[in-house]
Amino acid sequence: MKCRTGIILIFSIFLFACSTIKEAPLESTDPQEVLENIRSIKNELIDSNSDVLAKSSFDKGDKEMKTAIKALSKKRPRQEVLESLAKSKAYFLEAKKIAQNRMIVPENIMNTRNEVIEAGLSNKDLKIKLSKIDDSLIYESHNFTKPIKPEKLSLIQQKYQQIQIQSIQDSELGAYKEILKAAEKDNAKNLAPETLRDAKSKVLFAENLIGLNPKNPSYFMVSVDEARESVQLLDEVMLKLTKEAKGSTESTALSLVYQERQLGKLSDEVNVLQSSLSETSAEVDEMSDELADKEGQLANTQSKLRFQELMNEVRKSFNEEEANVYQQGDNLIIRLKKIAFKSGSATIPANSMSLLSKVNSVIIKLKPEEIEIEGHTDSAGPESINMMLSNKRAEAVKKYLSSLNAPYKVDARGYGESKPIANNQTKIGRALNRRVDIIVKANQK
């Protein structure tokens, strides 16, 4: 009886010892300092693949560490945080010991897994995929106690490589794909089909190059940069088409974007030239010719910049219902949208007089020597009639502007249906083609 009682007692003590969660000694009583130390241990385990070789212990250590972090953020008692950290450290050290005593799978498999982790798992889906492949590795090796069949090893390695490729693709192109999605949601397929097509093509091409050689950035980074530039252009064009230039064509939006980019480029050139001019001025005695050249460059660039700024100011003078304004070479195009001539008529409606007066005020600011009025029609009706009507409408606008005693020369010309900017097969397209364009060559002096 005594012997039986003793056995029960020993067995109870054994169960109690096994159920007690161990804690490792800590080097400090500062929770933040201890946490950093344990994070370092965790990273070492990941680098040596111990997180998969001893997955159960590693996961327990990770769970305790997260518990400690949560307790720390909620300002729980220090002792409570330290207890979780001590348990975390104990599990991590246990994982390290287990991993060292387990059969090591082929080095190339572990190296591939390390490359996946180094590439960075940029989203939750990739982390889940990695965990599933780790589970396959553990299962096929019977928890790292038996060799894995070569075909199974090859399949697992391929899966790791696929995640690595997806991770790099997401890291390099993920942000651009989101911009593409947003553009398509804003109807880019119809508003800017060519710009969208080019952006999608370049992103897919870069994605394919990464898939072919993910470990060699020099192989795919040029294509990634091209994809970035194309997607940025799409983003800027869509911003125009959905906001300040709503209702315009894709080509008009592109012109506006390039105009603003040119303005920014000229500003940068002015800054560079001013800096260079200051440096050259210090050596004026030895470099007078270079100084004069740089002064000329600076004056020319500053003049162009003033011209661009003035054009940008003019564009903002009109709302989207009145006119679109964009640059074409050295010319400023004011495309009037609110002169609604009656069908077959060249008489300017009374409610359009105020817009033309506003146009005159804006043109005077540009101080041009001359401007040209262009009349355009849609393709409805005989071509000869359309040509005659466009001429009469251009002359009507010319006559009105001249009546305001404008200090510039005015020329007028009709183009009929010969210069469409939209599809004449649709009602919206025909409305866009019935327009009056005012071409202004601004004085850049």
Whether 359 has a pLDDT exceeding 80, the answer reads yes
Q: Closest Cα to residue 159, out of 176, 186, 135, 175?
A: 135
Place of tokens 């889906």: 125
User: What is the average pLDDT score of the chain?
Assistant: 80
Residue 220 lies in a domain: no
| Of 102, 125, 146, the domain-final residue | 102
The band of 325, judged by pLDDT with boundaries at 50, 70 and 90, is confident
Whether 111 has a pLDDT exceeding 90, the answer reads no
E strand residue ranges, 234-330: 323-328
**Spatial distance between the Cα atoms of 174 and 207, rounded to a whole number of angstroms:** 10
* Tens of pLDDT, residues 27-49: 888 988 888 998 989 988 888 88
* Structural domain count of the chain: 3
- Share above pLDDT 90 across residues of the chain, in percent, rounded to a whole number: 14
Q: What is the pLDDT of residue 435?
A: 83
CATH number, domain of 420, equals: 3.30.1330.60
The band of 287, judged by pLDDT with boundaries at 50, 70 and 90, is low
My answer on whether 308 and 331 are in the same domain is no
Q: What is the pLDDT of residue 131?
A: 84
My answer on whether 429 and 328 are in the same domain is yes
Residue 143 lies in a domain: no
Range of the domain at 337: 323-441
* Tens of pLDDT, residues 194-213: 999 999 999 999 989 988 88
Q: Which residue has the higher pLDDT, 375 or 140?
A: 375
Average pLDDT over residues 126-153: 81
284-288, 351-355, 423-427: which range is least confident on average?
284-288
Q: Alpha helices of 74-123 — where are they, by DSSP H? A: 78-101, 107-119
My answer on whether 375 and 275 are in the same domain is no
Q: Closest Cα to residue 164, out of 133, 209, 123, 121?
A: 121
**Spatial distance between the Cα atoms of 207 and 25, rounded to a whole number of angstroms:** 49
- Share above pLDDT 70 across residues of the chain, in percent, rounded to a whole number: 84
The band of 380, judged by pLDDT with boundaries at 50, 70 and 90, is confident
Q: What is the pLDDT of residue 315?
A: 77
My answer on whether 291 and 361 are in the same domain is no
How many angstroms separate the first and last alpha carbons of the chain? 116
| Of 68, 102, 136, the domain-final residue | 102
Average pLDDT over residues 138-146: 78
| Of 71, 102, 133, the domain-final residue | 102
Residue 395 lies in a domain: yes
Residue 199 contacts by C-beta under 8 Å, 6 or more apart in sequence?
176, 180, 183, 227, 230, 231, 233, 234
Residue 70 lies in a domain: yes
My answer on whether 347 and 435 are in the same domain is yes
pTM: 0.49
Residue 166 lies in a domain: no
My answer on whether 310 and 409 are in the same domain is no
Could you tell me how far CA 366 lies from the centroid of its own chain? 36
Whether 50 has a pLDDT exceeding 60, the answer reads yes
Residue 170 lies in a domain: no
Residues 144 and 192 sit within 8 Å (Cβ to Cβ): no
